[in-house]
A and B are shown apart, each in its own frame.
Chain A
Amino acid sequence: MIFGTGILKGLFVTLKNFVTSYFRKPDNGGIFTVQYPEERDKAIEAFRNFPFLAYDGTPDKVRCVACGICERECPPKCIHIVMEIDPLGKPARRPSVFEIDHGLCMNCGMCEDVCPFDSIYMDHAFEVTAADRGKELVRPKEALLKSNDYFLKIRPGTATLVDQKRRAAEEKKKLSRAATLPPQGPVS
């Protein structure tokens, strides 16, 4: 073994990489850079970033009933919920305040796991910025609300399952209601 062969071998490796970087495919040892604003990595369904609140149809039909389970179970305690009180003074089973502090949230997905009302899910949007970490990072309900269509778009697999489950539950509810109440018209 002559002194210097190891270095020469290493130099050859880098030379080879220099040359092959011009024509090799990314998954084959070529340049694997994703040129971000123009190109984007392929969307991965399981990807989780900050949570969002799903609603059906219009923003006022929030699925969330402000039960506060996610607020309690959130490990870094970044969720703040206040239940809406309707004019009669009774709880409206709807959040009047639903805030998530993005400065605290660690994207663990615990809220999604524990939510019994299929309301809170992990989002794909990662391009979130704020100029002020005290106020702007605390995202209000308006910023968190996203439609079920959006959910279907970003996470088709999960969203379809959830929709099926919800529809089945609805059917069941209807059926049970139909069983307890006398029919009031033709059922479609």
Chain B
Amino acid sequence: MEILELFSKIGIYATMALVLVFALGVVALRNLFHCALCLAAVLIGTAMIYVALHAEFLAAVQILVYVGAVMTLVIFVIMLTEHLGGKTIRQTNRQSPAAIIGLSGIVVLLGTLLMKTPWPVTAKALDAKVSVMSLGKALMGTYAFPFEVISVILIACLIGAIVIAKKDVSEKGPS
């Protein structure tokens, strides 16, 4: 069975590499629609990594919420704001070289720190299986308050988004 494990390892690293490539696409492509599609790919790839980390529920939520809803919203707005077939104009500002230098510094710094730090990995945690039921119990028990707060925020933002995007009083906002 080691071979199968090897396969899955290869699969995970390949997914990671692909996700990084698509992430670069998100920030570097000129056509915004392509960027959004790359982001969708990144999100799906991350969901796959979640599955590999035994967080299937989270993966499903990620796809449902991010890809199904947020991405649709993003693409919708892109469609509304970009002209169909319009020429792609310069998408980056002049901070780009500075940003690259600074960020590579941060990456190197944090990366070395990450590699140097001894991360304690407990065997109990490795064995622990998170079922949907235990997640639900935690949400409704330990984290009931944050959960409610989140729902209030969601409602508030829903109303806020509609109010902001609304054109004038006589017309309906996007649903």
Q: Is there any pair of Cβ atoms, one from A and one from B, under 8 angstroms apart in the complex?
A: no
